[in-house]
Amino acid sequence: MPQVVRSPKVYDVCIIGSGAAGGTAAKVLAEGGLSVVMLEAGPALNPEKDFKEHVWPYQIPHRGGGIGGKLKHEVGDEFMAPNGAWEIDGEPYTSAPGSQFRWFRSRIVGGRTNHWGRIALRFAPVDFRSRSTDGMGDDWPLTYEEVAPYYDKVESYIGVFGTKENISSAPDGVFLPPPPPRCTETIVKKACDKLNIVCIPSRMAMLTKPLNGRAACHYCGQCGRGCLTASNFSSSQVMIPPAQATGRFTLITGAMAREIVVGKDGKAEAVAYIDKATRSEQRVHARAFMVAASACESARLLLNSRSTLFPDGLANSSGVVGRYLTDSVGSDAGGYFPQLEKMPPHNHDGIGGMHMYMPWWKFDRKNDFLRGYHIEFGGGRSMPGVGEFDGICERYEGYGASLKQRCRTMYGTHIGFAGRGEMIPNEKSYCDLDPDTVDQWGIPVLRFHWHWSDNEIKMAKDMQETFRSIVETAGGTFLSKAKPDGSRPYGIADGGVIIHELGTVRMGSNPKTSALNKYCQAHDVKNVFVTDAAAFVTNPDKNPTLTIMALSWRASEYLLDQAKQGSL
């Protein structure tokens, strides 16, 4: 019989998840004076041990390639902090027949903020008013003007570099100065100028100046490995520590939330979780709950929180939980740029990511598709890694002195381009509980259903055409594996692969068609909030993390107000 231990302590707030949403809530709520307990399904993060900053590939046995039988390019390689994985032993998910969906999950303090690209883009005013603009999808129950002060707070605290550009699709923020462009960026910018494609300094959460006690970036280009000086943003290094410093914050690691338990009054009163170390069920009691486990995990937790009062899952009287699942439209290509062969050796590292990007620039004309996309790009003389010359091996084949010399000549001459576009929610893309499968903790798992509609395919086509025109205008050779047909038309990535999955517990003003109000508070259960990207109504081309933090900050302040009024 499972041992059930009930904790006598009642915290003000229990936060489930320690990533962008959970970390932000922890900081705001604990600093605001509330007692906070946080459940994290993974272990603590130890930067000294877990981060491989400044390590050369030849200092580690797999040279940064796949460990333990993984193919050499898989994410989660030897260089990365233990960020998460596409597959987690003992914690499966399933896909419905005909659906291609991949789900990247983290099980560690800080969640996916240890891994993310740190691209920090604000949504634009129009992004909150999609239906009013083009008749598709739904409007958000709040406006850009309501979110903007929270974008300001987040940017001021975490540090985002960028430039004031006054582009309607890409609102300006509170910016640190940007780093100067690398050679690759100089070349692409010049081509974009000729094509009237807007190419501007990127907006990324790395410090180009010291901020709030964190040292400035030292330009090693290795943000993806985790930063020992916390010069890039992660929840684990920037949000959790100030919460801990209040003395009002308790972190429970290795805690896999199973169910939110509801009392007779219809309010949530506890979270039942599995303590992974002892495989025993525990409970933690609180007056309010912030679900921030990542969009799909949060939906899963609500769907698994079934009771007599809420037979279809908590906060799900509308039936929308799990629905409206979207990911970014992604399509990639690259180019060989001969002028880069002539560059003398020089330090090209910069920050760990792009110094420039192309925001959506065709918002002022009629296109073959609705909504838009932005373009990320990168390449050049970065630290050689496993897979660096796969393209050259494949294209030129052969062996011997000529192969060796060709690799040297062509090192750093490739620039890759990635489009990231808006998917419109559709009926066929959602997740639900798989009736046949539980994970090793006995918790029913998610089953994904996925479908790209024509709008997304047309967008991917446009991306490929744009990449080609940029490469060729710059005098390069266009390289793309995308084909118009097949299972990935125009190179469109499978659902979930861009790791911007969201929308599964959406907010709205109508409780019949949404689960949350505009403060991320459940319509059905007033002391439950969902503050991760599950709450999003749409998935604009902007990477979601900055908006997750802004909405979580806003929801947390709202909760603090409620607490002050005594209605917690």
Partner 1 sequence: MATKSISRRNILKSLTMGAMASSVLRVIPLEAAEYAHHMVAAEKAATPAGSYAPKFFLPRQYKTLLALCQTIIPADADSGGALEAGAPEFIDLLTSENPKYQLKLGGGLMWLDAACSDRYEKTYLDCAPEQQKEILDLIAYSKNAEKDASLTPGVEFFALLREMTVDGFFTSQIGIKYLGYVGNTYLLSFNGCPPVPEA
CA-to-CA distance for 110 and 19, rounded, in angstroms? 4
By CB under 8 A, name the one of 14, 34, 81, 183 that touches partner 1: 183
- Does residue 265 bind partner 1 (CB under 8 A)? no
By CB under 8 A, name the one of 116, 389, 452, 467 that touches partner 1: 389
- Nearer of residues 342 and 366 to partner 1, judged by Cβ: 342
- Does residue 67 bind partner 1 (CB under 8 A)? yes
Contact 525, 262 (CB under 8 A): yes
Question: Which residues in 487-546 contact partner 1 (CB under 8 A)?
Answer: none
Contact 80, 224 (CB under 8 A): yes
- Nearer of residues 185 and 524 to partner 1, judged by Cβ: 185
* Residue 82: CB minimum distance to partner 1, A: 17
CA-to-CA distance for 515 and 530, rounded, in angstroms? 9
Coil, strand or helix at 29: helix
- Nearer of residues 39 and 238 to partner 1, judged by Cβ: 238
Task: Find the part of the chain contacting partner 1 (CB under 8 A) among 138-146, 162-170, 206-214, 413-421.
Answer: 206-214
* Residue 9: C-alpha distances to residues 4, 36, 286, 287, 438 (Å): 15, 11, 8, 11, 30
- Does residue 1 bind partner 1 (CB under 8 A)? no
* Nearest one of 421, 548, 392, 511 to 19, comparing CA atoms: 548
Greatest distance between any 2 Cα atoms in the chain: 77
Question: Which residues in 9-48 contact partner 1 (CB under 8 A)?
Answer: 47-48
By CB under 8 A, name the one of 185, 501, 524, 541 that touches partner 1: 185
Q: Which residues pair with 291 in a beta bridge?
A: 16, 530
- Nearer of residues 83 and 382 to partner 1, judged by Cβ: 382
* Residue 467: CB minimum distance to partner 1, A: 17
Q: Per-residue x/- marks for partner 1, 465-494, CB under 8 A?
A: ---------xxx------------------
Task: Find the part of the chain contacting partner 1 (CB under 8 A) among 319-327, 334-342, 367-375, 448-456.
Answer: 334-342
Q: Which residues pair with 256 in a beta bridge?
A: 274
* Residue 481: CB minimum distance to partner 1, A: 15
Coil, strand or helix at 93: coil
Q: Which residues contact 229 (CB under 8 A, 6 or more apart)?
A: 214, 215, 218
By CB under 8 A, name the one of 88, 351, 375, 559 that touches partner 1: 351
* Residue 384: CB minimum distance to partner 1, A: 5
Question: Which residues in 410-469 contact partner 1 (CB under 8 A)?
Answer: 411
- Does residue 558 bind partner 1 (CB under 8 A)? no
By CB under 8 A, name the one of 8, 69, 435, 566 that touches partner 1: 69
Residue 29 CB: number of other CB atoms within 10 A? 29
CA-to-CA distance for 224 and 387, rounded, in angstroms? 17
Q: Per-residue x/- marks for partner 1, 229-258, CB under 8 A?
A: xx------xx--xx-xx-------------
Task: Find the part of the chain contacting partner 1 (CB under 8 A) among 104-112, 333-341, 489-497, 523-531.
Answer: 333-341
- Does residue 266 bind partner 1 (CB under 8 A)? no
* Residue 76: CB minimum distance to partner 1, A: 14
* Sheet with 477-479, edge to edge strand ranges: 373-379, 414-421, 329-336, 477-479
- Does residue 370 bind partner 1 (CB under 8 A)? no
Coil, strand or helix at 179: coil
Complete DSSP assignment for 189-224: HHHHHHHT---EE--BSB-SS-BTTBPPP--BS-GG
144 — phi, psi (to 5°)?
Answer: -55, -40
Coil, strand or helix at 398: coil
Tokens of 290: 């912030």
Task: Find the part of the chain contacting partner 1 (CB under 8 A) among 103-111, 181-189, 258-266, 431-439.
Answer: 181-189
Amino acid letter for position 254:
G
CA-to-CA distance for 530 and 314, rounded, in angstroms? 11
Question: Which residues in 151-180 contact partner 1 (CB under 8 A)?
Answer: 179-180
CA dihedral 549, 553, 559, 562 (to 10 degrees): -150
- Nearer of residues 269 and 388 to partner 1, judged by Cβ: 388
* Residue 172: CB minimum distance to partner 1, A: 22
- Nearer of residues 231 and 304 to partner 1, judged by Cβ: 231
By CB under 8 A, name the one of 342, 365, 366, 481 that touches partner 1: 342
Task: Find the part of the chain contacting partner 1 (CB under 8 A) among 211-219, 303-311, 426-434, 553-561.
Answer: 211-219
Looking at 199-337, list the stretches that DSSP marks H as alpha helix, in order from N- to C-terminal side.
240-245, 295-304
Contact 533, 552 (CB under 8 A): no
By CB under 8 A, name the one of 66, 254, 416, 511 that touches partner 1: 66
* Residue 59: CB minimum distance to partner 1, A: 7
* Residue 133: CB minimum distance to partner 1, A: 38
Task: Find the part of the chain contacting partner 1 (CB under 8 A) among 221-229, 312-320, 358-366, 440-448.
Answer: 221-229
- Contacts within 8 Å (CB) and 24+ apart, 273-276: 273/39, 274/441, 274/442, 274/443, 276/41, 276/441
- Nearer of residues 182 and 323 to partner 1, judged by Cβ: 182
Task: Find the part of the chain contacting partner 1 (CB under 8 A) among 84-92, 403-411, 416-424, 556-564.
Answer: 403-411
Contact 533, 108 (CB under 8 A): no
Contact 512, 481 (CB under 8 A): no
Number of residues that bind partner 1 (CB under 8 A): 89
42 — phi, psi (to 5°)?
Answer: -110, -170
- Does residue 568 bind partner 1 (CB under 8 A)? no
Task: Find the part of the chain contacting partner 1 (CB under 8 A) among 103-111, 205-213, 282-290, 365-373.
Answer: 205-213
Task: Find the part of the chain contacting partner 1 (CB under 8 A) among 14-22, 94-102, 119-127, 399-407.
Answer: 399-407
